[in-house]
């Protein structure tokens, strides 16, 4: 009998394709992005090149090359920031949006989306990293209190003594905007070493195995969001 051909693995989009998709999406949210990037490229490049030319004994070629590279770097940095914001605007207010935003964090963090939820689609996600355990709630703040309290008690029974924090995503008082969520996590005090993070993850597998899977609507993260995540992670 002839062997059935193995299904081909889907090829990952190239970095150039990801960048183009990210640019297209960013342009929809920010039509002037092309002019903004050009202005940064020309402005920074011109300043750097001019400084190089004015230095005593400097040649003409090296300052120009340096200016071009500096302008390109500045444009890429601005593009990354605006692209990330445009990607987050697509998931803001949608179930699972906070989890999509947290997926932009670099290595060293472990994200478990939707560890708790209710019929109103209020969600609690769990992030394990240098600050310890962070419970992130998205939805109605009043309904989230009970969900987050129940999860906190569950986790404290399994990993007693580990720092635990709570964050509610939103624009209200005491809440963290989805646009500032990753920055907020990175600014939190580092209290847990990498080896301890692995131990915490292993110890929590017992309660994770008993959870019912939540059917978060598929597709909350557009391809451009994946491009933003790869860009931030340096992949």
Go through 168-198 and write b for each residue having 16 or more CB atoms within 10 A of its CB, e for each that does not.
bbbeeeeebebeebbeebeebeeebeeeebe
Average pLDDT of span 54-65: 84
Dist. CA 133–CA 208, nearest whole Å: 14
pLDDT of residue 104: 84
pLDDT digits (tens, 9 = 90+) for 215-229: 554 444 444 455 555
- DSSP secondary structure string for all residues of 196-211: HHHHHHHHHHHHHTTS
Burial class of 206 by CB neighbour count within 10 A (0 to 12, 13 to 18, 19+): exposed
Tell which residue, 135, 177, 124, 185, has the closest CA to residue 159.
Answer: 135
Dist. CA 28–CA 30, nearest whole Å: 6
Alpha carbon dihedral 224, 170, 189, 159, in 10-degree steps, equals: -100
Residue whose structure tokens are 């989230």: 144
**The whole model's pTM is what?**
0.70
pLDDT digits (tens, 9 = 90+) for 98-132: 888 888 888 889 999 989 988 888 999 999 999 99
Give, in order, the Cα–Cα distances in Å from 228 to each of 35, 70, 204, 234: 20, 21, 29, 10
Dist. CA 179–CA 201, nearest whole Å: 27
CB 136 within 8 A of CB 185: no
pLDDT confidence band for 12 (50 / 70 / 90): low
Q: Which residues pair with 112 in a beta bridge?
A: 126
pLDDT of residue 27: 83
């Amino acid at each position: 009998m002839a062997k059935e051909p193995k299904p081909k693995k889907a090829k990952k989009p190239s970095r150039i394709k990801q960048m183009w998709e990210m640019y297209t999406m960013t342009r929809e949210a920010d039509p002037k992005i092309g002019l903004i990037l050009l202005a940064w490229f020309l402005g920074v490049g011109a300043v750097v090149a001019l400084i190089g030319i004015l230095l005593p004994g400097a040649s003409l070629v090296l300052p120009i090359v340096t200016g071009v590279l500096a302008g390109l770097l500045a444009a890429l940095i601005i593009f990354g920031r605006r692209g990330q914001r445009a990607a987050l605007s697509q998931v803001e207010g949608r179930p699972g949006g906070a989890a999509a935003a947290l997926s932009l964090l670099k290595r060293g963090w472990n994200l478990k989306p939707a560890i708790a939820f209710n019929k109103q689609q209020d969600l609690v996600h769990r992030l394990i990293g240098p600050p310890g355990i962070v419970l992130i709630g998205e939805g109605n703040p009043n309904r989230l209190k009970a969900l987050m309290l129940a999860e906190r008690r569950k986790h404290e029974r399994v990993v007693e003594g580990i720092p635990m924090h709570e964050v509610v995503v939103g624009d209200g008082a005491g809440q963290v905007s989805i646009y500032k969520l990753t920055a907020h996590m990175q600014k939190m005090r580092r209290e847990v070493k990498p080896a301890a993070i692995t131990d915490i993850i292993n110890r929590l597998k017992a309660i994770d195995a008993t959870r019912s899977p939540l059917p978060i609507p598929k597709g909350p993260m557009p391809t451009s969001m994946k491009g933003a995540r790869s860009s931030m992670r340096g992949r």
